[in-house]
Homo-oligomer: A and B are copies of this chain.
Amino acid sequence: MDKYVIIVAGGSGVRMGSAIPKQFMLLNNQPVLMHTILSFFQAGVENIIVVVPIPFIEYWETICNTYSFSVPHKVVGGGLFRSQSVKNGLEVIDETEALVAVHDGVRPFVSSETINQAFDTAQEYGTGVPYLDLRDSLRQIEGNESMHVDRDKFKSVQTPQCYTLAILKRVYNVPRLPSFADDAALVEQFGIPITLFKGSEENIKITTPLDMFFAESLVKSKKTASSFNLTS
């Protein structure tokens, strides 16, 4: 089946305290989003759909020219919410059968290994979602109190989350999208089991200034992400 990725770059950057949404901030002199697109291109994913907030579409086209960014990709306008952005991305896929990964535009360090595992897992099971073990102790909040829970019984999940096109079209084909945290949370509401595979810790999501600092350090080190991947 053909492989697609919908890269969601619709954030407004509020948490960075910055006027520029974080997907456009420079990482080693190139916008974050270009790094992310390149990661999928280098992993052999040929159908790259990038969902950009509508007010930034012209800006994005301009900076693609400025940076001579030539990786082929289709630009789609985003919605007010992430779910609408994914749905808009799905609508430009003409095939009837395909595998579709949905990825955060601000996770530029996703490895080819993780991308391939997402597609392979979805090919076999219909869904493929990368997880990481929790590193700190975990407490569950109940009202004003909290109690210790076993962190081994929980996993954090990242992107790319990969699904068959049929599954995504089914769950997104509703007139009014419910609110949900990620695609896995939506998909499971339809009784479809989520298959997890182990992700990698360097696939960080750039959300805060400290993340941006770490990302900058990582990209400047010119090491491949996988060279740190001794422990997964």
A-side residues, CB < 8 A to B, are 15-17, 131-132, 134-142, 145-158, 180-182, 184-185, 188, 193-194, 196, 201-202, 205, 207-210, 213-214, 217-218, 221, 228-231
Contacts and interface: CB of A to CB of B under 8 A. Distances in A.
A212 to B, nearest CB: 9
Contacts of A150: 181
A157 B132 contact: no
Given A201-B208, A208-B201, A228-B209, A157 B139 contact: yes
Nearest to A214: B214
A188 B205 CA distance: 33
Contacts of A229: 210
Given A138-B155, A205-B136, A218 B213 contact: yes
B213 A231 contact: no
Contacts of A134: 156
Nearest to A221: B213
A197 B208 CA distance: 20
10 contacts: A135-B207, A136-B157, A148-B184, A201-B208, A201-B210, A202-B210, A208-B230, A209-B228, A214-B214, A214-B218
A154 B140 contact: yes
Nearest to A141: B153
